[in-house]
Chain A
Amino acid sequence: MRLFKLTFATIFHRKAWVICAIAVGILPFILPYLSTASEKPVLVQPARIQAAWGALWISALCWGLFTAAQQGENNAKTGVGEYFLTTGMSITRQLLQIWLAIFCYILPFTLIAAAVSQFAALPAAPAERAMWWVLNSQYVCLFLIVIAPLLLLSTALASRFGGITGFAITLGLALYGLYGVGYLDNMLKLEPNAVLRGLWIFSPHYHFADITQRLYFKSGAIAGSSFGMMVAYFLAITAVYGGISRLSFRARISS
Chain B
Amino acid sequence: MSLPASHPIIHLESGLGIGYGAPIARFEKEATLGAGTHFLLARNGRGKTTLLRTIARTLRQVSGSFRTTGFLQYLPEDLRFDPEITAETVFRMLIPRNRHLEALDLAKSIELDVKKPYGKLSTGNRRKTSLIVAEFSIRPDQGNILLLDEPFSGLDAFARQAFEEIWLKSSSNVLRLVSCHPDYDSMLMPSALMIEDQHIKHITSPNQTWRDLKPLLN
Q: Residues on A close to B: CB < 8 A? A: 2, 5-6, 9-10, 13-14, 74, 78-80, 82-83, 85-88, 251-252, 255
Q: Are the C-beta atoms of A2 and B73 separated by less than 8 Å?
A: no
How far apart sit A10 and B119, CA to CA, in the bound complex (Å)? 12
Whether B85 and A86, one on each chain, are in contact in the complex, defined by CB atoms closer than 8 angstroms, is no
- In the complex, the answer to whether B74 meets A80 with C-beta atoms within 8 Å is no
B56 touches A13 (CB 8 A): no
Given contacts A83-B73, A86-B74, contact A78 B58 (CB under 8 A): no
Q: Is the CB of B90 within 8 A of A6?
A: yes
Q: How many angstroms between the C-alpha atoms of A14 and B81 in the bound complex?
A: 13
Query: Contacts A13-B82, A13-B85: A83 and B90 contacting too (C-beta < 8 A)?
Result: no
Query: Do A14 and B58 have beta carbons less than 8 Å apart?
Result: no
Alpha-carbon distance A74/B80, docked complex (angstroms): 9
A10, A82, A88: which contacts B76 (Cβ < 8 A)?
A82
Chain A-chain B contacts (Cβ-Cβ < 8 Å), number: 64
- Which residues of B in the span 61-81 have a Cβ within 8 Å of any Cβ on A? 71-76, 78-81
CB distance from B55 to the nearest CB of A (A): 9
Contact A255 B20 (CB under 8 A): yes
B residues within 8 A CB of A78? Answer: 78-81
Docked-complex contact B79 and A80, CB < 8 angstroms: yes
Question: Are the CB atoms of A79 and B82 closer together than 8 Å?
Answer: no
Interface residue B169 (Cβ < 8 Å from any Cβ of A): no
The answer to whether B90 and A85 have CB atoms under 8 Å apart is no
Q: Which residues of B contact A2 (CB under 8 A)?
A: 93-94
CB-nearest residue of chain B relative to A8?
A: B93
Cα A244 to Cα B61 in complex, Å, equals 28
| Inter-chain contact A87/B71, CB cutoff 8 Å | yes
In the complex, are the beta carbons of A13 and B80 less than 8 A apart?
Answer: no
Residue in contact with B74 in the complex, picked from A6, A10, A82, CB distance below 8 Å: A82
Q: Which residues of A contact B79 (CB under 8 A)?
A: 78-80, 82-83
Q: Which residues of A contact B76 (CB under 8 A)?
A: 79, 82-83
Tell me whether B57 is interfacial, beta carbon within 8 Å.
yes
Q: Can you name 27 A-B pairs with beta carbons within 8 Å? A: A6-B93, A6-B94, A9-B85, A9-B89, A10-B85, A14-B84, A74-B82, A78-B78, A79-B78, A79-B79, A79-B80, A80-B79, A80-B81, A82-B76, A82-B79, A83-B74, A85-B58, A86-B56, A86-B58, A86-B72, A86-B74, A86-B147, A87-B71, A87-B72, A87-B137, A251-B58, A255-B20
